[in-house]
Amino acid sequence: MSGWIDFEKFGLEGLTLNNYRNYSKNSECYDIVVKINSILDISKGWEVSYPLIEQFKKSKEFPSFLAKIQTFLSNKPSSADEAEIANKKKEIKGENNRRAVVSVLGLYNKGKSYVLSRILGLKLLSSFFEHTEGLSILLSRADVTEVLIGLDTKGSQKPVKNCDEAKMKDSEATERFLQTLSLNLSDIVLIVVDRLTRDDQLYIKQIKQTFRNKENIIIVHNLSHVKLNKDLEKVIKEEIVGCFDCQVKQLKDSAPYWYENDRTRHVVMACDDKDSESKIYSEAGAKMNQPTIELLQSWLLSAASTSLERFNLVDNITKFSNKVISNYLNQKVEVVLNTEETLIKTNQDPCIPCEELKYADIRFNLVGLISENPNTSLSRVSEDQDHYYVSLECYGYEIEDLDIKIEIVNSTKKIIIKSDIQRKIENRNTTNILRDEFKTTHTRPLEWSFEFPILIIEQDAEEIKDFDLTNGLLHLTLTKKKVNNSSKLQKRN
């Protein structure tokens, strides 16, 4: 399958994307759902469902549509028709359709599904937004944005029911995996916030480090409780201009937006101007929401016009999962998509017993995996616009005792510092030892690693020009690779 959905696999060979889109306009279903409720479920498989197609097959329109297909297929085509039929099949498979993918990210309960639905022209009940699971995919219902595909995920920091340590780790690992997956698939990233918090600011910073094309990151301030223009202006001044040092810009006959020095853009929405349950008229929503949605649509359409890739989302999800999932687990696994394209699973002979899948010793930030290796030394990593600065506790070592390596990992690099030599710690007297914390902390071999969110230019340890070991602290300076901001879209793997 080289297109967005292969209708032939569902017995719908005569269904074109236009047929599909026309039916979908009145639907409240996601087009594809990849049910990744836990990374560990890969052992039995992540279900891939196509809710809108299944709804269509049960609808009153389906029998007459199926009859037309069967009539078409039963007529033996003449040689003159063969080229036309071949072109029709290409259209059905979506081979001539290139689309831009937009993912909507953010912390829990910020209104991500609502914002996505407005952009893609969906008219959905509020109950729809309560059932986002795994990675849920929407094809735009609006003619104006018909070249867009939306990725919807569960929000970060969602509460865990009946939680214990294992459930908390599972929830955290799965959330981070889904966010990393979304970023990898996306051309444009929308980050939805409500009233700004420190967690939002940290989340935005870490997304910027992971998704490096800043001009394709858009912060949507979804101020769902703001109804008055004066309150909206106050929030804009305090939280957008004040916290992000933004400048305002407004095109003719368009909504205003705000931009940072790194070209990240901010837009604002207020209390829904179409909310029939609201007892108070939302003047801020009436003024801002629809113009802001139209502005977002124009930006996304511009991105779609430069997207030249043909792709299959489910296949790309499988390939990326296969590439990174072993970083999260206690063993190496291979991930494949079954021939029916309804299950992503491990490629393993069920007759051969295997070790139970568990999580590796891993840590996370708000966006993704930080490190899959347990570190045996304390460290501090800081950054500015151009460099990373590493300080590592190496008491008891000389510089020649340390093995420093730089490796390529996924789309970035990792620095690894090791030593198999025991630390040289003097025992200055022969008295009885009453307490010896060195025995558990400093007698283990040194092992430390860090995966840089932004690619560094150094290829190996010999290229690190600024480093020294003084008073038991190793200091390293590494240089960030410059990003070409003129690049329109980040390349999908």
Summarised one tens digit per residue, pLDDT across range 302-340 is: 877 665 555 678 888 999 999 888 888 888 889 999 888
For 437-462, letters b (16+ CB in 10 Å) and e give eeeeebeeebebbbbbbeebebeebe
Is 9 a residue whose pLDDT tops 90? no
Q: For 186-190, what is the mean pLDDT?
A: 90
Average pLDDT of the chain to the nearest whole number: 77
Strongest mean pLDDT among 10-24, 111-125, 413-427: 413-427
Separation CA 275–CA 296 (nearest Å): 21
Q: Could you tell me how many residues make up the chain?
A: 493
Residue 236: pLDDT band (50, 70, 90) is very high
H or E stretch including 447? strand 446-451
pLDDT in tens, 347-380: 876 666 667 888 877 766 666 655 555 567 788 8
Is residue 4 within 8 A of residue 97, CB to CB? The reply is: yes
pLDDT at 258: 97
pLDDT at 384: 85
Strongest mean pLDDT among 16-25, 239-248, 379-388: 239-248
**3-state class of 258 per DSSP?**
strand
Tokens of 341: 């394209």
H or E stretch including 477? strand 473-479
How many Cα atoms sit within 13 Å of 332 on the Cβ side?
1
What's the CA angle centered on 263, arms 258 and 268, to 5 degrees? Answer: 25
343: CB partners within 8 A, 6+ apart:
45, 46, 47, 48, 337
Residue 448: pLDDT band (50, 70, 90) is confident
pLDDT in tens, 400-414: 999 999 988 766 788
pLDDT at 173: 87
Facing residues of 173 across strands? none
Separation CA 106–CA 153 (nearest Å): 9
pLDDT at 219: 97
Domains of the chain with CATH codes: 373-479 (2.60.40.790)
Strongest mean pLDDT among 244-248, 302-306, 448-452: 244-248
Separation CA 98–CA 297 (nearest Å): 17
Q: What percent of the chain has pLDDT over 90?
A: 26
Is 168 a residue whose pLDDT tops 90? no
Separation CA 135–CA 178 (nearest Å): 7
**3-state class of 63 per DSSP?**
helix
Q: Is the pTM of this model over 0.75?
A: no
Range with the poorest average pLDDT among 57-61, 80-84, 262-266, 293-297: 80-84
pLDDT at 67: 54
pLDDT in tens, 90-105: 443 444 455 678 888 8
Range with the poorest average pLDDT among 21-25, 184-188, 241-245, 406-410: 21-25
Q: For 430-441, what is the mean pLDDT?
A: 66
Range with the poorest average pLDDT among 54-58, 271-275, 386-390: 271-275
Separation CA 181–CA 177 (nearest Å): 6
For 76-88, letters b (16+ CB in 10 Å) and e give eeeeeeeeeeeee
In terms of Cα–Cα distance, which of 220, 205, 116, 177 is closest to 344? 177
